Chain A
Amino acid sequence: MSSIIEIAQAIQDSSIGVAIAESTVVFPVIETVHLLGLALSVGLLLIVDLRLLGLVLPKVPVATVHHQLRRWIFTGFTFTFVSGALLFWAEAGQVIVNYAFIAHGIFILLGIANAAFFEIRLVPGAADWKESLPGAARFAGAASLSAWFLVLVSGRLIPYLA
Chain B
Amino acid sequence: MSFYETLQNSAVGHLISESNHLVGAAFQVVHIVGIVLLLTAVLLVALRLLGLGLREQSLQEVEKLARPFLWLGLAATVISGSLFFISTAVIYATKEALQIKIVLLVLAVLLQFGLVRRLVAHPASKAVARGAALASLTLWLGVGLAGRAIGFT
Contacts and interface: CB of A to CB of B under 8 A. Distances in A.
Interface stretch (A13-21, A62-70, A129-137): A62-70
What is the size category of the interface that chain A forms with chain B? 20 to 34
A72 B47 contact: yes
B126 interface: no
A27 B29 CA distance: 20
A25 to B, nearest CB: 8
**B interface majority secondary structure:** helix
Contacts of A152: 29, 32-33, 36
B152 A27 contact: yes
Contacts of A68: 53-56
A161 B20 CA distance: 13
Given A60-B57, A69-B54, A156-B32, A39 B21 contact: no
Contacts of A40: 39, 43
Contact of B40 (A28, A39, A161): A39
A116 interface: no
Nearest to B62: A57
A156 B153 CA distance: 20
B36 A42 contact: yes
Interface in A27-65: 27-29, 31-32, 35-36, 38-40, 42-44, 46-47, 56-57, 60, 64-65
B54 A65 contact: yes
Contacts of B29: 152-153, 156-157
Contacts of B22: 160
A36 B53 contact: no
Contacts of B148: 28-29, 31-32, 35
A32 B25 contact: no
B39 A36 contact: yes
A36 B141 contact: yes
Nearest to A56: B65
Nearest to A64: B56
A29 B145 contact: yes
B43 A32 contact: no
B152 A46 contact: no
Interface of B: 21-22, 24-25, 28-29, 32-33, 35-37, 39-40, 42-44, 47, 52-57, 61, 65, 141, 144-145, 147-149, 151-153
Given A39-B39, A40-B43, 8 more contacts: A27-B152, A29-B148, A32-B147, A32-B148, A39-B42, A40-B39, A44-B53, A60-B56
23 contacts: A28-B152, A29-B145, A32-B147, A32-B148, A35-B32, A35-B148, A36-B141, A36-B144, A39-B40, A40-B43, A43-B36, A43-B39, A44-B43, A44-B53, A46-B37, A56-B65, A57-B61, A60-B57, A64-B56, A72-B53, A149-B33, A153-B33, A160-B24
